[in-house]
Amino acid sequence: MSNPRPLEEEVYDMSGARLALTLCVTKAREGSEADLDALERMFQQLGFESTMKRDPTAQQFQEELDNFQQAMDARDDPISCAFVVLMAHGLEGQLKGEDGQMVELENLFEVLNNKNCRALRAKPKVYIVQACRGEQRDPGETISGGDIVMITKDSPETIPTYTDILHVYSTVEGYISYRHDKEGSCFIQTLVDVFTERKGPILELLTEVTRRMAEAELVQEGKPRKVNPEIQSTLRKRLYLQ
């Protein structure tokens, strides 16, 4: 049997501008300011032009994403990467604006896809969502110590609408997310620690975030809880932030 060849490592070009938009509902979400401070520090260290907006209504979530897309498409300089951080109360597939109205996550994600945002076509788009995705709580489990045909053509060069996207959720579908009233959320704080202290492709960094969160013991209302993020990727290359 022949030896398998190692994967060729294709990497996203990160020499252009890096942009970040953070939309955060702080009302009735104690600890949000600690998360915003941590994210600002991370974006500064990683060389991002960072914009932060507090307490958007449901409509403003959509408007801010639209403005972000239009500003990028109006720029003359090349853009390498965009981060969008969304922090609010939520349900599966929805975020709650400051006005109590709901906005569909899918509508927010659509704005920057390869079809709708020319400046980010074939460029990595990273969405970080700190919000509940349901009502379930995970007490944890104890473990012991240990006929579809693909056609490839060289030309014309086209790209699927939904590639080059990375969704990072603070919790898995159907579950609640946790936040400390002073120290911020376990998810954002862990993610910032890993992204600022470690080097490697972003999916490996996120594996480390998941590992640390899986080891952490959260206590809510006197009961131990477990929580882990969920990562969905259509990235085509490795993404290095530093």
Give me the catalytic one of 81, 117, 132, 186: 132
What is the residue whose two structure tokens read 């946790």?
178
Locate the DSSP E strands across the chain.
Answer: 17-24, 49-54, 79-87, 89-91, 94-96, 102-104, 125-130, 165-169, 218-220, 223-225, 230-233
Q: Is the peptide bond before 78 cis (omega within 30 degrees of 0)?
A: no
Estimate the crossing angle of helix 186-197 against helix 32-45, to 10 degrees: 20
Return the DSSP state at 87. E
213/118 Cα distance (integer angstroms) = 36
For residue 132, indicate whether it is catalytic. Answer: yes
Give me the catalytic one of 81, 89, 117, 186: 89
What is the CB neighbour count within 10 angstroms for residue 129? 24
Q: Hey, is 19 helix, strand or coil?
A: strand
For residue 89, indicate whether it is catalytic. Answer: yes
- 215, 173 Cβ separation under 8 angstroms: no
- 97, 35 Cβ separation under 8 angstroms: no
Residues noted as catalytic: 89, 132
